[in-house]
Amino acid sequence: MNAGSMTFTARVLSVTALLAATSLLDAQQQTLNILPGAAEIDGFAGAHFSSTLNLSNPTGSPATLTIGLIPQPGKPAPAPVNRSLLPGESQQIPTVLTALFGLTADAGALTITGDAAVIATLSTLNVADPLGTYGVAFAPVPESGLLVAGQSAMPSG
List the domain boundaries for the chain. 3-143
Residue 81 has pLDDT above 90, yes or no: yes
Residue 23 has pLDDT above 60, yes or no: no
> How far is residue 128's CA from residue 13's CA, in Å, rounded to a whole number?
19
Whole-number pLDDT of residue 101 = 98
Residues 3-143: name the CATH superfamily: TM1070-like (2.60.290.11)
Measured in whole angstroms, the distance separating CA 141 from the mean position of its chain's CA atoms is: 11
Whole-number pLDDT of residue 30 = 58
**CB of 87 closer than 8 Å to CB of 59:** yes
Classify the phi-psi angles of 21: left when phi > 0, otherwise alpha if psi is within -120 to 50, otherwise beta.
alpha
> How far is residue 107's CA from residue 124's CA, in Å, rounded to a whole number?
10
Q: What is the mean pLDDT of the chain?
A: 80
Identity of the residue numbered 145: G
Greater pLDDT, 24 or 31: 31
